[in-house]
Amino acid sequence: MTSNDNARRPSARAAGWRALGPLALLASLACSPAREPAHPVHTAPEERGSAFVGRAAPRRPLIEVSLLAFRVADDDGGRAARVTSADIARSVAFANDVYRAAGVRFRFDPSELVPLHNRVINDLEGDQQPDWRAAKHAADEVAEHFPDRLVVFFRHGRGPHATGAGFAGADYNFVVMPGWSDDLHCGHDHISALSHELGHHLGLQHTFARVFDVPSQAADFLAACGGDARAFDGDGLDDTAPDPGVRTTECQAIDVLELGAARVPLARRNIMSYYDQPESLSREQIERLRWFLLERRAHRLKLPRNQPSSALQVEQLQILAQSGGECWPQRMAPFGAGNWSEGRQLFCRSQAGPQSVRVRLQVEQGGLQRLELYATRAPDYGILEVTLDGVPLGGAYDAWAPAVLASGAIPLGEVRLEAGSHELTFVTRAKNAASTGFHLGVDALVMLLVDPLS
């Protein structure tokens, strides 16, 4: 939908009632489940968020984000998520303590818990489920009806027994949570779970690289890695300590884990860990999540996908010449299922310096053409320039990002072309200071005939 449609769209709550009718009303008024043991207060609310940055003033400017929560059930209203507006309000209040140092505030209107009867979304399990691409697309479609809202689905999960797991990622536009009473951690409610998944939505990774059941497994792994604790590093950030990720230590009140001869400190207060006391962010985590949040806001909280309705697949075009690097078609599903046109791109690798690749572009009908490029952004990509028959198109495009992301449409302007063969060149001759390479990735090209040649 376009931004102009937003003025005509009913509120989320009204849309939910109107679409779902009496069954949804009954489901939303169901009795609340029995309350589970409350989360113990490990850290006073005013101290939350201070573990790694102290009591420094929050980052500015303040970024406010409006959450829209859906209480999901099956198509027939069965297996509804066990969550109430009060439960979500508690989780959001906790999240605001966690993200205070980052200068981020989440807003949630308790009157706006929207019922949604959708079996596909109610069965969401994550990128390991066989139908993940279709399920992700269904959830993204719902989320895209609500621009400028961060959409959170509270769902039951697949099967008769409710899941206790949530998940989120930077490559899709929603967060998935379990019912409140189905998610216990260390014998009490898991009030930090939403804060953790919001971190993933904003580009943060776990502090651990993998999970071990017991300390001996972590000790063996560490020994196999030559005793280098960096093998436990899950996010690559300098100011988050490598985390062994041992499940049996999550609920124990220990700050150091002995693994053979090594003593490994546990960052128990980091929100991206699995420990029982997480409520803080490091400075580098704050920088990363603010970048992602500002990027999402630039797209009305919905990061773009490369899904043009009709396009030329650049990876299928004939390569005429390349210099400074090597190019090949690359599968993009591991970086976000359904986010790239036909799931592939032309990837050109150059770690050391500038590179270029020239491809043949066949124009079927001459005339004035409006061109749009769909490309890729990544931590090791350069600044992309495009020329057509030696003439520059559009402006230079900085393809650096802290994660692998689809660019969405990049306008290249209008150009008058004759029918026949042309040469399209992609160049990276410079890079963002944060980038570690000069790589480039180009996905698809849209050519819209504006004015045919007579």
pLDDT, tens digit, 9 for 90 and up, residues 254-285: 999 999 989 999 989 999 999 998 999 999 99
* CA–CA dist 165, 163 (Å, integer): 6
For residue 130, pLDDT over 50 is answered with: yes
The CA-based angle 50-51-52, given to 5 degrees, is 95
Residue 428: HSE in the Cβ half-sphere, 13 Å Cα cutoff: 32
Give kind and range of the element (H or E) at residue 321. strand 319-323
CATH 2.60.120.260 maps onto the chain at: 312-452
CATH architecture of 3-207+276-298: 3-Layer(aba) Sandwich (3.40)
pTM, full prediction: 0.89
Residue 189 is predicted with a pLDDT of 92
Q: Are 333 and 343 in contact (CB under 8 A)?
A: yes
Task: Give the sign of the dihedral formed by CA 373, CA 379, CA 380, CA 382.
Answer: positive
Residues near 11 by beta carbon (within 8 Å), at least 6 away in sequence: 112
For residue 14, pLDDT over 60 is answered with: no
Q: Does domain 312-452 have CATH number 3.40.50.1000?
A: no
* CA–CA dist 293, 274 (Å, integer): 23
* Structure-token match 């436990």, residue found: 232
* Structure-token match 């189905």, residue found: 182
Residue 308: HSE in the Cβ half-sphere, 13 Å Cα cutoff: 21
**String of DSSP letters for 77-125:** S-S-----HHHHHHHHHHHHHHTGGGTEEEE--GGGEEEEE-HHHHT--
pLDDT, tens digit, 9 for 90 and up, residues 197-252: 999 999 999 999 999 999 999 999 999 999 999 999 999 999 999 999 999 999 99
Q: How confident is the model at residue 35 (pLDDT cuts 50, 70, 90)?
A: low
In 10 A of CB 364, how many CB atoms?
8
CATH 3.40.390 maps onto the chain at: 3-207+276-298
